[in-house]
Structure 1
């Protein structure tokens, strides 16, 4: 019996893998920074409710980055235009999540709403910046001569 030759990753697939890995690393850093600063400032400003508000913002930052990572992982072989379209849809989905979370926690007594709001806003802006910078600086060729 012959051993099948494993499929080699093309140059474009390898470039998308690098972009995805970079986004993963930057996303983890963003989530840790947003959570640590939100929870730390929240604790200093309003105690335990501020700490919980910062944790909600950090958790939402993680959700936003995970949504983008899933979109980019699933769309890595679809081409640049498809990924851009899916990322646009993902942005709208994140905006919808943002509105629902703000609506649900506006009257919560177990967290400081102001700390949660500002941490969530930083999470939204930060995740959008991380995504944009990573995709723009990712050097992915438009044409894959090795594709079959």
Structure 2
């Protein structure tokens, strides 16, 4: 067995790679959209403090997408059920992070709390939707005939 044949991806591994890349592209689009819209609307609504609130929401969207990408990458060889379970645990972890961030930023004077809250909510809902759509529409077979 040569090194080249050992490194070739199976059909299922290639399918998971496509799903992961799709998640990466959709995640980048989500992060840019949340950051730009949050910061733009925040600046129009509350000036510099609103801009800061939108930036916090955009940053949190990036953190949420990175958590999802790490879970999907780590679980790529575990099967669809395992990944779905890990993504569910990731959602609970994100909810915990959401609560901590809201708690820590509730009295911050350098940002507009309302803009930050709505931008963070958009990040949470958007990342959950991107996750769900990507995993549901990802066409990964359950059985890998090439696996040994």
TM class by shorter chain equals over 0.9
Residue 115 of structure 2 is aligned to residue 82 of structure 1:
no
Instruction: Name the residue aligned to 1:24.
Output: 24
Equivalents in 2 of 1:41, 1:128: separation in Å?
Answer: 22
Displacement of 1:81 after TM fit? 1.1
- Residue 6 of structure 1 is matched in structure 2 by 5
CA RMSD in angstroms, aligned pairs only: 1.1
Query: Any idea what SS the aligned residue of 2:23 has?
Result: helix
Unaligned runs of 5+ in 2: none
Structure 1 position 68 matched with structure 2 position 103: no
Query: Once structures 1 and 2 are overlaid, which stretch shifts more, 4-13 or 117-126?
Result: 4-13
Q: CA deviation at 1:41?
A: 0.3
Query: What TM-score do you get using the length of structure 1 for normalisation?
Result: 0.97
Stretches of structure 1 lacking an aligned partner (at least 5 in a row): none
Q: Distance in 2 between matches of 1:6 and 1:109?
A: 59
Question: What residue is the counterpart of 2:117 in the other structure?
Answer: 117
